[in-house]
């Protein structure tokens, strides 16, 4: 004779504050065990009485675990409509727990997670209850994704899923998070390449703007500013005339290509970035309008990132770095950050100061422009000015070319 399963089972759980509370597992109509729920009681006898009361009232197994599809719809996972506050409850919670100057999550990240949820996660797991998803299923799914996508893409898709189940566990919808026992893949992204000093000086020589850059000042000055300041492309596109000062730039935003709007920088910080007089004069002489500095529409909107990148690639062709060589060395617009990093380190600046300029997340920059002090960046400004001088001065150029370049450590982007 088959044994009859009990309506519930009790077990203790030690909370983070050291308090022991009794939980119960109920079973549904098919005999499947539901997720654990707290009785709120500290003794087994009180916990049993609590469960018996629930059983008598028909409420013991009432808490049915939803499917992944139902729960993501209920909580509007990763939904953030254009020009509105996020609908996603997780996103709203993260933003509410962070400062407005440094939001915990950005629209671009949430939008990418929504695409992963829609295109990959729900088609595979949407019909499953949250407590039916197992580590073995997740691991098999990851390896299947890896046969179709780059490893970094697989990592990002898995990360979007991990956040969802972690939140379900935190809110006690499930008694365990299956992702906790699924090791993450290791990224395989290829480090960005870096131009040599000779190549950079040849590429950015103002005397060859017509031949190398087809006379386009926007594209030339974007690369010049990136070379000297190590700013990211999105940060440059978001620069407005009011952000330009004689000795520094106020880097306060990044241009979001997907939504065509200014958003927070990658590190969610606002920071002053020193510039030499040469660059200030070049930008002031070029941008005779208010609004966006790097613009094809007199400041009304910023230049297109793809167009700037294409111009950078075309300029590389002009100095004999063809498409095949560029791909082999992985030279992209972002390579200017590695060039600036390499240049400043080769000139003897300490790594801590270089990290301040490049604003890597491993170092904290001030959030307030009132803390800007040109004297604190005098050594950086001096080397920036010398690099700018080498563009037009034969003696300065020879000095740089005669000094052996030191390889830069791989950097965060």
Q: How far apart are CA 102 and CA 99, in angstroms?
A: 5
pLDDT value of position 16 = 73
Exposed / middle / buried, residue 9 (Cβ in 10 Å: 0-12, 13-18, 19+): middle
140 shares its domain with 282: no
Most confidently modeled of 164-173, 317-326, 351-360? Answer: 317-326
| Domain harbouring 101, CATH code | 1.10.150
204 shares its domain with 332: yes
Asked if pLDDT for residue 248 goes beyond 80, the answer is yes
pLDDT value of position 117 = 97
Q: What average pLDDT score do residues 362-390 get? A: 66
87 shares its domain with 220: no
Tell me the pLDDT of the chain averaged across its residues: 86
| Domain harbouring 245, CATH code | 1.10.443.10
Query: What whole-number percentage of the chain has pLDDT above 90?
Result: 56
Asked if pLDDT for residue 244 goes beyond 70, the answer is yes
Q: How far apart are CA 335 and CA 340, in angstroms?
A: 9
14 shares its domain with 146: no
12 shares its domain with 82: no
**Beta carbons of 237 and 305 less than 8 angstroms apart:** yes
Residue 56 pLDDT level (bands cut at 50, 70, 90): confident
Domain, as residue range, for 23: 8-56
pLDDT value of position 190 = 65
pLDDT value of position 98 = 87
Of 181, 206, 226, the residue that ends a domain is 181
- Number of domains forming the structure of the chain: 3
Residue pLDDT, tens place only, 384-403? 999 999 999 999 999 988 86
What does each C-alpha distance from 169 to 89, 162, 375 come to in angstroms? Answer: 15, 11, 51
pLDDT value of position 4 = 42
91 shares its domain with 209: no
Q: How far apart are CA 24 and CA 398, in angstroms?
A: 77
Indicate whether 13 belongs to any domain. Answer: yes
35 shares its domain with 78: no
Of 136, 154, 181, the residue that ends a domain is 181
What does each C-alpha distance from 147 to 139, 250, 358, 403 come to in angstroms? Answer: 13, 44, 36, 46
Two structure tokens written together for 98: 């962070």
pLDDT value of position 83 = 79
Indicate whether 105 belongs to any domain. Answer: yes
Two structure tokens written together for 20: 């022991």
Q: How far apart are CA 126 and CA 313, in angstroms?
A: 43
Start-to-end C-alpha separation, the chain: 65
Backbone angles phi, psi at 274, to 5 degrees: -65, 150
Indicate whether 188 belongs to any domain. Answer: no
Q: What average pLDDT score do residues 312-316 get? A: 96
pLDDT value of position 371 = 46
What does each C-alpha distance from 348 to 230, 380, 382 come to in angstroms? Answer: 17, 10, 12
pLDDT value of position 366 = 32
Indicate whether 300 belongs to any domain. Answer: yes
Asked if pLDDT for residue 208 goes beyond 80, the answer is yes
Query: What whole-number percentage of the chain has pLDDT above 70?
Result: 88
Indicate whether 23 belongs to any domain. Answer: yes
pLDDT value of position 370 = 35
Asked if pLDDT for residue 136 goes beyond 80, the answer is yes
pLDDT value of position 404 = 47
Closest listed residue to residue 35, CA positions, set 178, 183, 137? 178
314 shares its domain with 365: yes
Indicate whether 410 belongs to any domain. Answer: no
What is the C-alpha radius of gyration for the chain, rounded to an integer number of angstroms? 28
Q: How far apart are CA 222 and CA 226, in angstroms?
A: 6
The partner residues of 20 in beta bridges, in order of sequence, read 14
Residue pLDDT, tens place only, 3-55? 445 778 899 998 777 889 999 888 766 667 777 788 889 999 999 999 888 88
pLDDT value of position 3 = 41
Residue pLDDT, tens place only, 289-312? 999 999 999 999 999 988 999 999
Cβ neighbors of 189 (< 8 A, separation 6 or more) are 152
Q: Higher confidence at residue 15 or residue 62? A: 15
204 shares its domain with 117: no
DSSP line for 144-168: HHHTTS-HHHHHHHHHHHHHHHHHH
Q: How far apart are CA 195 and CA 228, in angstroms?
A: 13
Indicate whether 385 belongs to any domain. Answer: yes
Indicate whether 235 belongs to any domain. Answer: yes
76 shares its domain with 51: no
């Amino acid at each position: 004779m088959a044994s009859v399963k009990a309506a519930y089972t009790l077990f203790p759980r030690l909370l983070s504050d050291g308090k022991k509370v009794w939980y119960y597992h109920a079973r549904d109509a098919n005999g499947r065990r539901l997720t654990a729920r707290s009785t709120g009681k500290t003794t087994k006898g009180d916990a049993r009485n609590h469960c018996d009361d629930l059983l008598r009232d028909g409420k013991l197994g009432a808490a049915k675990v939803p499917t992944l599809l139902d729960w993501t719809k209920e909580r509007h996972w990763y939904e953030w409509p254009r020009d509105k506050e996020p609908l996603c409850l997780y996103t709203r919670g993260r933003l509410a727990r962070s400062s407005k100057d440094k939001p915990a999550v950005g629209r671009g990240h949430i939008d990418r997670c929504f695409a992963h949820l829609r295109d990959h996660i729900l088609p595979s797991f949407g019909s499953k209850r949250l407590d039916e998803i197992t580590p073995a299923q997740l691991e098999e799914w990851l390896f299947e994704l890896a046969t179709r996508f780059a490893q970094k893409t697989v990592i990002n898709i898995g990360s979007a899923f991990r956040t969802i189940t972690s939140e379900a566990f935190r809110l006690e919808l499930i008694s365990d998070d299956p992702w906790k026992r699924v090791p993450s893949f290791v990224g395989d992204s290829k480090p960005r390449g870096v131009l040599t000093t000779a190549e950079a000086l040849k590429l950015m020589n103002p005397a060859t703007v017509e031949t190398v850059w087809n006379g386009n000042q926007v594209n030339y000055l974007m690369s010049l500013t990136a070379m000297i300041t190590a700013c990211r492309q999105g940060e440059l596109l978001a620069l407005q005339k009011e952000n330009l000062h004689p000795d520094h730039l106020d880097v306060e935003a990044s241009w979001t290509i997907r939504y065509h709007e200014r958003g927070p920088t990658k590190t969610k910080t606002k920071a002053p970035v020193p510039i030499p007089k040469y660059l200030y004069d070049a930008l002031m002489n070029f941008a005779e309008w208010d609004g966006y500095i790097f613009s094809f529409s007199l400041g009304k909107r910023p230049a297109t990132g793809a167009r700037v990148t294409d111009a950078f690639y075309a300029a590389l062709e002009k100095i004999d770095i063809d498409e095949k060589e560029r791909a082999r060395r992985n030279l992209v617009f972002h390579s200017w950050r590695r060039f600036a990093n390499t240049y400043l380190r080769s000139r003897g600046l300490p790594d801590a100061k270089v990290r301040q300029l490049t604003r890597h997340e491993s170092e904290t920059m001030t959030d307030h422009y009132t803390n800007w002090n040109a004297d604190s960046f005098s050594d950086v400004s001096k080397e920036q000015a010398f690099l700018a001088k080498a563009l037009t001065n034969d003696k300065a150029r020879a000095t740089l070319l005669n000094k052996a370049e030191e390889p830069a450590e791989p950097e965060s982007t």
